[in-house]
Homo-oligomer: A and B are copies of this chain.
Amino acid sequence: MKDSQLLLSIAVLGGTGKEGKGLAFRWARAGYHVFIGSRAEEKAIATANELREMLGDDGASIIGMDNLRAAREANFVVISVPYSAHRDTLETVKSELQGKILIDVTVPLVPPKVATVQMPAAGSAAQEAREIVGEGVQVCAAFQNISYEHLLDDADVECDVLVTGTSKDSRAETIKLVEAAGLKGWDAGPIENSVVVEGLTSVLIGINKKYGSTHAGIKITGANNVLNS
């Protein structure tokens, strides 16, 4: 565990879902305190127990709690819920997010046409989140293009993470969490660019369908992800 991480904690709202659970696993392993959040506290506790068992000593700092408390306790709050629960979850925890960084993992898929980009009126789920939680919260979008299957094992994930967000600093903080999860992150610009990152998931779902793949992803080429100061 690095010194700088000693006090850092991450809440994963919807952490009982496949992607949230995988991210929680990787962050706990990297030395962060992780609070699994769920609408139902008992489900969160069950997932936390399961992850602790998988992680052994590394899992000591995973705790399950309801979404509201998880948001309250943590420095960073990640929301990883189905789009249908996105607004309600944010309304519930909004008061606990002020002054923090919210990382939105949500993809606004509209079944049955999940391979067609269909954004909410705000422009993207992340922009909608910003409208709900207000200007006191820095909102970033990240992890939308990652297949959850490989998060729970030690496999290299052959997909980069594009990070958009309401400020350069919050994007830089989020990129640190991307790297802590063992992935490569890129500053993909302002929150208005979230439509690209979220929409890319529909493009990748379509590619999986058309080309018979299961884990299509993207890599940025021609650049080296060391930020200019």
Contacts and interface: CB of A to CB of B under 8 A. Distances in A.
- Stoichiometry, copies per complex: 2
Interface in A179-229: 186-190, 192-193, 195-197, 199-200, 202-204, 206-208, 210-228
A158 interface: yes
Interface size class of A (residues with CB under 8 A): 35 or more
A159 B206 contact: no
B207 A220 contact: yes
Interface string A70-90: 000000000000000000000
Interface stretch (A21-29, A42-50, A114-122): A114-122
B195 A202 contact: no
11 contacts: A116-B190, A117-B195, A158-B221, A187-B206, A193-B202, A196-B199, A210-B227, A211-B223, A211-B227, A213-B223, A215-B223
